[in-house]
Amino acid sequence: MTIRQLKTYFFTNAIRNHFGSRPSRRHQLQLSIWLTNGNQQAMPIVASISKEISQPHLLIKGTSCLSGQVEISGAKNSALVLMTAGLLTDERIKLGNVPDLTDVTGMANILTSMGVKLQRDSDSLEIQANEISHVELPYELVHGLRASFFCIGPLLARLGKAKIPLPGGCRIGARPVVEHIKGLTSLGALVNVSHGEVTASITGTRKKLQGADVILDCPSVGATETILMASVLAEGKTTIENAAQEPEVQDLAKMLNLMGAKVHGAGGPKITIEGVEHLKGCEYSVIPDRIEAGTFLIAAAITGSSIKVSPVIPEHLSAVLQKLRDCGCDIEIINNSVKITPGEIRGVDITTQPFPGFPTDLQAPFMALLSTARGTSVVTEKIYENRMQHVSELQRMGAAIRVQSNTAIIEGVAELSAAPVTGGDLRSTAAMVLASLAARGTSKVEGLHHLDRGYSALEAKLNNLGAQILRIGSQDNY
């Protein structure tokens, strides 16, 4: 179906909603004449339709079959931290495979506000932080981007001070920065939290942070990355025990080592850092986004479609691929690509865990799949305490789910029904898109400001595979 045909289809639906039924040919002709002549009688109808489509949203016609290959973008959670690592040197950093996301734009705006020079060209980003003019981050840029807090480590390490408002981001749980602060304090920083701001500095006669042994109470990805960046320019040796093992931590360590750092053990529970005097510039490519890849694999499974995703690093997807196999999908790994061929989807149990366990960021999308699986599934969320916001929206589409604390029990249904739904965070909005692909009828999905934070051109990529999705509002594709 062409974009013009999609526009006609969805516009007809909007008229149907106004008239209460499918508009007759007389109604359609009359409206066409009114619109052509600017007749005032058309204005209430146009206003009604305009109001309906004024909020950015996706209109998704369900039950389409997908096929083909989809290109996976660079990892959001890696790109953001690598951008802040550019603050550690006065030399040029050139990042490749940088995804086109609103979060990346937000981080770019934060760096620019500090005097960092940036140049974007397609998926590459040059960072030149030789003249940092401000170490105080503006609240209006920080409050919606949790990753902004990553700046505190590099600023402390290189300039000895930083002042950052407490960050925002998706409302999926507390996600406190206590572990970050404890780690920085262990390295010799004086950290004060007051009136919603974190102020950190190096005190006394020492001009650098000091190496130390840091033991994290939980393997926090953000805390591991913050302490890692703070310690590469510290005096002496630092160890981080109970460190996060996620691929994004490994990616950061690889780039830091390319810049001249001495980081060992990233990807394991203990990381050792030998501080160096200076870091140099480098060129580095962001790893593929394992969460985006997982989302497309689930999209194939929920629509009963065979597709190939590439490029990926299969080891980053091990837990997800195993669960897809368990629920009835055939998985074929070919070099840096994964081909999925679904069978009958059956229920499985999932518990989110830190890497290499099942990722919390794919819990909501996988629950959409399990809503249509044969049998009963149990999904337990162990990472965040408020990550079941998608359940009520899936229930609106006919899913049979009940929640007990942080556990959801899903009884698979034969079919989901289209409905207007809203995603409350990034991954729950993705789950609404996936559920809509499988639902009977046309769904309206709101919450695109969340979706655009972590998925680059999601609807365009799905349309290239055969989906029928139209974006209305911001970033229109027509």
Residues tagged active-site = 170
Distance between CA 155 and CA 393 in Å, rounded?
41
Phi, psi of 89 (to 5 degrees): -135, 155
User: In 303-371, which ranges are continuous DSSP H helix?
Assistant: 318-326, 363-370
Distance between CA 373 and CA 350 in Å, rounded?
14
First-to-last C-alpha distance (Å) of the chain: 13
SS3 content of the chain, % helix, strand, coil (to 5): 40, 25, 35
Contacts of 440 (CB under 8 A, 6+ apart): 62, 63, 415, 416, 417, 418
CA distances from 337 to 42, 168, 303, 331 (A): 52, 34, 20, 10
Edge to edge, the sheet with strand 270-274 lists 213-215, 237-241, 270-274, 262-264
CA distances from 91 to 116, 129, 153, 161, 232 (A): 11, 7, 18, 20, 16
Distance between CA 375 and CA 373 in Å, rounded?
6
Contacts of 391 (CB under 8 A, 6+ apart): 367, 399, 401, 403, 408
Distance between CA 6 and CA 417 in Å, rounded?
20
Q: Quick check: helix, strand or coil at residue 402?
A: strand
Distance between CA 86 and CA 157 in Å, rounded?
12
Instruction: Write the single-letter amino acid at 30.
Output: Q
Distance between CA 126 and CA 143 in Å, rounded?
25
Among left, alpha and beta (phi > 0; psi -120 to 50; other), residue 187 is: alpha
Phi, psi of 372 (to 5 degrees): -110, 10
DSSP letters for 182-224:
HHHHHTTEEEEEETTEEEEEE-SS--S-B--EEE-SS--HHHH
DSSP 8-state code for residue 414:
S
Q: 197-202 and 161-165: which strand pairing?
A: antiparallel
Distance between CA 358 and CA 356 in Å, rounded?
7
